[in-house]
Structure 1
Amino acid sequence: MAAPPPCAGRRSAPTTRNTRQPARCPRAWRATALAAAAGLALAACGSGSASTASGSSVASANRGQSAFAQYPVGKRPAGPRISGKLVGGGRLDLAAWRGDVVVINVWGSWCAPCRAEAPSLAKVADATRKLGVRFVGFDTRDNDAAAQAFERNYKITYPSFRDPDGRLVLLFNGRVPVSAVPSTVLIDRSGRIAARIIGPTSYETLNTVVRELAAEKSGTGAIA
């Protein structure tokens, strides 16, 4: 059975018995993080490597923030083929959404950072649906009852795949690092991975990147 990714909100254990304070995020992180995201617990410090596209306002504002990576047009890896059972019943094949921007969020009802970012995800999903943006979740290490309660509580209207053992997350291996819960992957209209966020995101970051991708022409990455 595949090992699921760790929760981004969990702290590492101290390395010595005399350690009084847990390790802090680098000062550079705090200096460059978006002001709007200051209220979130940025617990995924240093996860993965950042690759940013020049000219992107979000990438520029977060330069040095390893949790956020935006891939330039022409260097975007192809997204994996994803299909499976949904929380609450039914099946979905993301191939049916080709031509739309797809936002994939890895979450679990047991994950505190997932609860922190859930209102932002729901808000952006509702606000960008008419722009041809589709949201879908990967509900990992969870059960349907808890997942459905989470969706009702945070007014999540988009579907989520059932991913109890993290197998769907492993489809991104060799493409982009998706190493924590929560994580978010954004796929452009051509089915290529345009950005990824390790750890909780904010409304401002997600809304800006999603709208940039929605403005691109399918197949070129150029602004429509």
Structure 2
Amino acid sequence: MRRTALLVAGVLLVAGCSSGQQAAQNRQGQSGFVSGNGNVSTFAAGDRKPAPELTGKTLDGATWTLSEQTGKVVVLNVWGSWCPPCRKEAPELVAASKELGSAVQFIGLNTRDLDPAPAKKFVQEFGVPFPSIYDPNGKALLRFRGQISPKAIPTTLVIDKNGKVAGRVVGEVTKQTLLGMVKDAG
């Protein structure tokens, strides 16, 4: 009897998670996401892999290209306005970008916002001072296959001055973590 009760509880728990995720997907019009746990990976200079070429239109209509940033450390943050962990980490990214100033280029990669209006509202609400490439269908994100899971939102990469990935945070990033990663990448 106890075994049956545990089995039923397990099935209900799984069903509850699935229906909760489905309800969230229906509200957001999104295909879901998997938020990481803030797992930090750093890579020694000799083990770093090149970041793929990234070019796109920003939310304000300008063109941004990663290869034009050679010689600068770049912080790439993948986010969506529909993503609760992205909202939680936004003030941390803003604070880090302000503290690091123009020595580091921050760029957002806004994904799966099918309409740019919510993404623009997010940027305004959190006072995000750096540009974000608008990638509604995730094509730019898919270029990072092997370095970023397309469903692990948010994810932040730190790209060294030579265009190689020096570190990655899967999940929410904190200002202190980011400052340390940028220092290590430089």
Report the TM-score, using the length of structure 1 for normalisation: 0.66
| Aligned-residue offset at 1:138 | 0.6
CA shift, 1:211, in A, is 2.4
Structure of greater relative contact order (alpha carbons < 8 Å, 6+ residues apart): 2
Match of 1:140 in 2: 111
* Residue aligning to 1:99: 71
Checking the alignment, whether the CA contact within 8 Å between 1:106 and 1:183 is kept in structure 2 is: yes
Give the match for residue 28 of structure 2. Answer: none
**Secondary structure in 2 aligned to 1:89?**
coil
Residue of structure 2 in register with 1:16 after alignment = 11
Aligned to 2:90: 118
1:149 aligns with 2:121: yes
The answer as to whether partners of 2:36 and 2:154 remain within 8 angstroms in 1 is no
Unaligned runs of at least 5 residues, structure 2? 1-8, 18-34
Kindly name which structure, 1 or 2, has the bigger radius of gyration based on alpha carbons.
2
Match in the other structure for 1:50: none
- 1:129 counterpart (101, 121, 124): 101
RMSD of equivalent CA atoms? 2.3
Q: Determine which of 33, 36, 57 is the counterpart of 1:44.
A: 36
What's the counterpart of residue 188 of structure 1?
160
For 1:61-80, what aligned pairs fall within 5 Å after superposition?
67-80=39-52
Where does 1:24-35 land on structure 2 (aligned, <5 Å)? none
Deviation digits for residues 163-207 of structure 1 (CA, Å, limit 9, x no counterpart): 101111111114x24341111011000100001111111111112
2:170 to 198, 203, 208: 198
Does residue 212 of structure 1 match 2:171? no
- Using the TM superposition, give the Cα deviation of residue 88 of structure 1 relative to its aligned residue in structure 2, in angstroms: 2.0
Looking at structure 1, the residues matched to 133 and 178 of structure 2 have their Cα atoms a distance apart, in angstroms, of 21
**Runs of 5+ in structure 1 lacking a partner?**
1-13, 23-42, 46-64, 217-224
Give deviations 1:53-102, integer Å, cap 9, x for gaps.
Answer: xxxxxxxxxxxx7x211111101001111101111212111111110000
Find the aligned partners of 1:21 and 1:140 in 2 and give their Cα distance: 27
More strand by share: 2
Letter in 1 for 2:12: R
Normalized per residue, the structure richer in helix is 2
Secondary structure in 2 matching 1:169: helix
Runs of 4+ in 1 over 4 A off after TM superposition: 18-22
Q: Quick one: percent identity of the two aligned structures?
A: 34
Alignment of 1:167-182 (within 5 A): 167-174=139-146, 176-178=147-149, 179-182=151-154
* Aligned residues of 2:148 and 2:155 also touching (Cα < 8 A): no
- The change in CA–CA distance for 1:17 and 1:153 in structure 2 (over 3 A counts) is same
- Counterparts of 1:92 and 1:209, CA distance in 2: 23
When normalised by structure 2's length, the TM-score is 0.79
